Amino acid sequence: MPAPIVLPRLSWGAARSPRHALLIHGLGSTGALMWRFGTALAEAGWHAQAVDLRGHGSAPRALDYSIAAYAADLAETWPEREDSWDLVIGHSLGGSAATVVAASDPSWTKQLVLIDPAIHLSPEDRQTVRNSQERSFADPSREAVRAEHPHWHEHDVELKAQSAQQVSRWAVEQTSVQNSPWDVRDAAAQLTTPTHVIGSDPKVYSIFTGDLAAEVLAANPRIGMSVVPNAGHSPHRDNPEATIAALHLALGER
C-alpha cells in the first residue's frame, strides 16, 4: 500500500451541515475547479469539501503517481466528526481513484457520483489526454484557455489557467507513465456503494462511453448513468446547468 499524504482542502456550505460531500478533481486540475459542485451542494444544504490531489495545486509532491497512490490519499480523507462521507464526487482521474477506494472500503462513502470517469483508458484516450495536457503547459494563460473554451465561465478560465501553473508537470507525466494499463474495471465491478455516472456527450468527447460504459454497467447493477448533452470531458464546465440538474436527480433531490 502506498504511503498516503495529507491533502489540502477547500470548502463550501455550513460546516455544521448534517450532509458532507467530498469533491475530487481530474488530472491537471485543482480542487478549486470543482466549484460548480461545491456551490450547488452548499445551496442545497450540504457541506462540500474539495481536495488538491498529490502533485496538484498546493498538495505535497511525491514520487508515486499510480492510481493506487491517489486512492491511498483519499482513503485517509474523512469528514470532520463523521464516520463516512455522505457523497463523493470524482471527475476523470478523481473518479477512477474514488472507485478504487469505495470498492475496497464500502464504509468510506454512502453514495458515489462519477463525472466522465477514467475507468479504463484506451491508447487513443491516453493520447488525447496527453495532447490536452501539453497544450495547457505550452501556454498556461487565461487567454489560451479562453480561446480553447470560449463558453466557459470566467471562474473556470481563471482557475484552469492557474491549475496549469500550479501542477507538477512531472506528476502529470508520471500519472500516465505509471498507470499502464490504466484500468480499474475490476474495482468498478466490486462496488457495493450506490453509484451514478454523469457521462459526457460522445458527439463532443467522452472517456466513459460506448462499449466500455456498456461493459461496466452490465457488470454491476448498482451503477447507473446519465449523459449531459453538448458537453465534453468536463461537463461541469461545458454545460454546468445540465450537469448540476443531473447531479440533483442522481441524489433524488429534484
- Note down the domain range covering 107: 9-251
At 128 the pLDDT is 87
pLDDT tens figures, 9-45 = 999 999 999 999 999 999 999 999 999 999 999 999 9
- Domain assignment of residue 2, yes or no: no
At 80 the pLDDT is 80
- Domain assignment of residue 3, yes or no: no
> Which of 47, 57, 36 is closest to 154 using CA atoms?
36
C-alpha span between 227 and 224 (Å, rounded): 11
Structural domain total, the chain: 1
Q: Per residue of the chain (254 residues), give pLDDT as tens.
A: 789 999 999 999 999 999 999 999 999 999 999 999 999 999 999 999 999 999 999 999 999 999 999 999 999 999 987 789 999 999 999 999 999 999 999 999 999 999 999 999 988 888 888 888 889 888 999 999 999 999 999 999 999 999 999 999 999 999 999 999 999 999 999 999 999 999 999 999 999 999 999 999 999 999 999 999 999 999 999 999 999 999 999 998 65
- CATH code for the domain of 162: 3.40.50.1820
Burial of 150 (C-beta count, 10 Å sphere; 0-12/13-18/19+): exposed
- Domain assignment of residue 104, yes or no: yes
pLDDT tens figures, 199-219 = 999 999 999 999 999 999 999
- Domain assignment of residue 56, yes or no: yes
Give percent helix, percent strand, percent coil of the chain, each to the nearest 5. 45, 15, 40
C-alpha span between 251 and 204 (Å, rounded): 26
- Domain assignment of residue 1, yes or no: no
* CB 163, CB 33: distance < 8 Å: yes
- Domain assignment of residue 43, yes or no: yes
Alpha carbon distances (Å) from 144 to 58, 136, 157:
23, 8, 9
HSE of 41, CA atoms in CB hemisphere, 13 A: 30
- Domain assignment of residue 4, yes or no: no
- Domain assignment of residue 91, yes or no: yes
